[in-house]
Structure 1
Amino acid sequence: MAYFRKRGSAWEYRIKFTNRKTGLPAETSKGGFKSKAEASLAAAKAQLELDYYGFMPDGNELVETYFIKWLETYKKPNVKPITYSVQERNVRLNILPRWGKMKMKQIIRNEYQQWINELRNHYSEGTVRRIHSIFSTAMNDAVHEFNILRENPVQRIKIPKEKDQSRKVKFFSRSQLESFLEHTKPVKNAKYKESMQYLALFTLLARTGLRIGEALALTWDDINLDSKTLTVEKTLVYPLNSEPYISTPKSRTSERTIKLDVTTIKIIKKHRINQKEVILKYENYKPAKTNIIFHQHDGRWLRTNVVREYFKEVCKRANVPILSPHALRHTHAVHLLEAGANIKYVSERLGHKSVKITADTYLHVTKKIEDDALSLYERYV
């Protein structure tokens, strides 16, 4: 309901309503109207917008209220659960602590740019780009979908770039990879010291470039030992404090069938036999419940955080840089490129959306390839 009052020579309207998120009374107002009739017309328009869009008009909505409602209503039903999880976490941990108690109209471009610059002191360029993308998309919707802002104040923001592009990609050299895999087998006092599961998993990652979620989702039906191929058509998502589930791959190009080399085939075959031996040897080691290739002792999917922790342990044992399992994907790509593989082949093997992504990601390697090719040309002519 709208209320009106005259302040000096101007009129003001005030609308009281119930906040849909909190269930508590809320209020919005605007003044400066020449007459009560003019204020009444503006109030009626504001009330319609509030009823229709669910947000306060004229940018008076709190950032916190807007973002939470925007995520739940407009993002959650339209993106993959893992994508929503990432977006929700970035909003909750990065955007709301800084902007949540401000009104939408109070977001100023210069202040926002300063915040982005500060974020780069704590996060990588890619992470800051993701945070900014979420923020800017929400603000665009505020302009074009809900009419609560006239323009997006965070357009054309500059994201500070990595100073050293070659340091973006972390990978093992050939000797480091060899040492890492040698130390992957369980130590003497390990609980399931006869298991070669992690050797098989890390070898597969290092020689195929699979993402960790793609590897953990694999079943024995996905590998054809006769044709020496592996089919990727799903990924394991293991959200924090939630149940894991199988989802479609990251993108359409992530669905692919790739060739396996002889070494990988041998390791996978040994792992299949070893898996059965371990089940027989240890009483509490159960068969996989869904024919998965890599699993916990109780038959469930391996937890990604457990894999990461074991990976770090192996790095320490092998005295190599302490990286993450994703480094094996980079390692495979770099080794292929250094061996002279066609970049289009590498891009398709990794499941990238485009060759440009591959070239940009492994810029330091592709530059070396260009230099080597030019040297060959110069020697030829």
Structure 2
Amino acid sequence: MATYRKRGTKWEYRVRYVDRKTGTNKETSKGGFNTKKEAQIAANLAESKVEYYGVGEGGNDRLANYFPQWLEIYKKPNVKPITYTLQERNVRLNILPRWGRYRLKELNRSEYQKWINELRTSYSEGTVRRIHSIMNTAISDAVHEFNILRENPLVKIKIPKDQTDNKTIKYFSKNQLEKFFSTCKTPVKNAKYQLSSQNYYLFAMLSRTGMRIGEALALKWEDIDFSQKNITISKTLVYPLNSTPYLSTPKSNKSRRVIRMDETTIFLMKKHRINQMEVYLKYKKYAPSEEGYIFHQQDGRWLRTNVVRDYFKTICNRANLPILSPHALRHTHAVHLIESGANIKYVSERLGHASIKTTADTYLHITDKIENDSLNQYEKYINL
């Protein structure tokens, strides 16, 4: 409801309303009108904005104030802790330093697109997509959830693509994989726990099952059924930077899966269990994991993912191989499966991908090779 009063020679209106975002009573006003009629027209427009936006300011909140509330209400309760941590970090380090002083209604599509283009000079395409996704979702919620904006100016923003082919996956050929494990088996001089072959068995499992490093480090002996030749994947280890590690659910619903072991993998895991017992007996300071984890530190705690990565790179150096990461063993397993003639659906399920499309897109150059080989085989057959 609007009220009016004359101040000197000018008119002023006041509109009272309930802020739908906070549920509190608020008031907006404006003066300087030459006549009461002008003030009434302006007041009607203000009341229309209140009805439309749900607040009198219509997006007058600054992003520095809006984002903390958005993160707390819409993200924290609905995403995994590690996801929330990454999103909060991107907001704090990338979004707010650039946009925090802006009011929501001041967001400009052209200026935002220019910022996205600038980000691509410093960050990868994937990183910029993640930053934009956070910003775009937040502004979309300002429209549809908080009702403080009429529209989202950030829809269909274009992310500059990589000019070079940086999406080629990294993996070991069969010969390179043999060289890697041959080097990994060789004991390191002056190693503290030289009898332990844990890293060798960990890398062997990754290369023969295609599981993610976090899934492997979360495994307990009870997750392996030697009689059924199966490994059950139901959790993953999350090791945030400068934070406490914790177990979480797998990456997606499809990541909950049962992986069948081949005979070599079964043999290696049994050898690892024997080696583990020998290590416990030989080194008094090397303690078993009370929770029964298959791979662990000498004090029984989870292995640190960064330590595993560093050791993996050391092996690559010693073997004079490309410096890859343990994740390359997952790609290696997938590529070798496909090259051996495995069905793409089977590969997708074994890796725990969300869809077959994800698998096909990831290993496109491999599936192209298989397709070409198959077509060549067909041509030879039909022309006999």
What is the RMSD of the two structures over their aligned residues, measured on CA atoms?
3.1
- Check the 8 A contact 2:31/2:39 in 1, yes or no: no
The offset of 1:160, in angstroms, is: 2.4
- Give matches, 1:7-46, under 5 Å: 11=12, 34-35=38-39, 39=43, 42=46
Q: Is the 8 A contact 1:5 1:13 kept in 2?
A: no
Alpha carbons of structure 1 residues 42 and 101: separation in structure 2 relative to 1, 3 Å: same
Decide whether the 8 Å contact of 2:63 with 2:101 is kept in 1.
Answer: yes
Aligned pair in 2 of structure 1 residues 280, 107: CA closer, same or farther (>3 Å)?
A: same
Q: Would you say the 8 A contact 1:75–1:84 is kept in 2?
A: yes
Residue of structure 2 in register with 1:110 after alignment: 110
Quote the offset at 1:243 in angstroms: 1.8
Residue correspondence of structure 1 range 174-193 to structure 2 within 5 A: 174-185=174-185, 186-193=187-194
Q: In structure 2, what is the Cα distance between the partners aligned to 1:249 and 1:30?
A: 55
Secondary structure at 1:236 match in 2: strand
- The separation in 2 between residues aligned to 1:331 and 1:4, in whole angstroms, is 77
SS in 2 for 1:184: helix
TM-score, length-normalised on structure 1? 0.86
Structure 1 equivalent of residue 20 of structure 2:
none
Q: 1:163 to 1:37 in 2, by over 3 A?
A: closer
Matched to 1:338, the amino acid is: E
Shift of 1:168: 3.3
SS at match of 1:183: helix
1:224, 1:252 → 2: CA distance?
A: 22
The letter of the residue matching 1:79 is V
Return closer, same or farther for 1:30/1:143 CA change in 2, 3 Å cut-off: farther
Letter in 2 for 1:151: E
Equivalent residues, number: 366
Give, as a single letter, the amino acid of the residue that structure 1 aligns with 2:142: A
Superimposed CA distance per residue, residues 116-153 of structure 1 (whole angstroms, 9 cap, x where no aligned partner): 22333333332222222111111110111112211111
1:241-320 equivalence runs, <5 A: 241-320=242-321
Query: Matched residues in 2 for 1:183 and 1:141: separation?
Result: 53
- The reply on whether 1:76 has 2:76 as its aligned counterpart is yes
Give, in angstroms, the shift of residue 94 of structure 1.
Answer: 2.1
Matches within 5 A, 1:221-240: 221-240=222-241
Give secondary structure in 2 for the equivalent of 1:258.
strand
Give, in whole Å, the separation in 1 of the partners of 2:275 and 2:241.
31
Higher-Rg structure is: 2
- Higher mean C-alpha displacement, 279-288 vs 4-13: 4-13
Shift of 1:273: 0.8
Unpaired runs of 5+ in structure 1?
16-26
Question: Any idea what SS the aligned residue of 1:35 has?
Answer: helix
User: What is the TM-score when the length of structure 2 is the normalising length?
Assistant: 0.86
Alignment pair present for 1:360 and 2:364:
no
Please state how far the C-alpha of 1:11 moved relative to its aligned partner: 4.7
Distance 1:28 1:321, change over 3 A: farther
CA distance 1:323–1:165, shift in 2 (3 Å): same
